[in-house]
Amino acid sequence: MSHDNHDPLDHPEVKIASARGYFIGYAFAAAMMFISLGLVRSHAMSPAGLATTITLIALVAVLAQLYFLFKLDLSESQIWHTVAFAFTVPLFVMAVGLTLWMFHTLAARTMLPGMGM
């Protein structure tokens, strides 16, 4: 549009894309998912331990996806990626953190003690 050059491959946003990065991101996300699935299917831990472990694995998977698939990092050259990355953190803390807090109190107040979770 307002650019004079219309070859998409010349855009810096496109240039930083790499097939290797996407493949690693995908493989990593898939691996994390299969590990979680395996843990759940084999009942490897107590329900509470399982929930915690899966939550941690999910966190790792999210970070890997942000880096490998969305190319979000703290570089100076891609300032809008840095902004997006910095913006992800409070959103993540709010959405996931507040949800955890709320479900924790909900479980404490409404679930019978000793029934798991």
Name the residue among 88, 95, 93 with its Cα closest to residue 69. 88
- Within 8 A by CB and 6+ apart from 109, the residues are none
Q: Give me the torsion for CA of 20, 26, 29, 32, rounded to 10°.
A: -80
Nearest distance from C-beta of residue 51 to other proteins, angstroms: 10
Nearest distance from C-beta of residue 6 to other proteins, angstroms: 6
Nearest distance from C-beta of residue 28 to other proteins, angstroms: 19
C-beta of 19 vs 91, nearer to other proteins:
91
Q: Which residue in 2, 12, 19, 89 binds other proteins (CB under 8 A)?
A: 2
C-beta of 20 vs 43, nearer to other proteins:
43
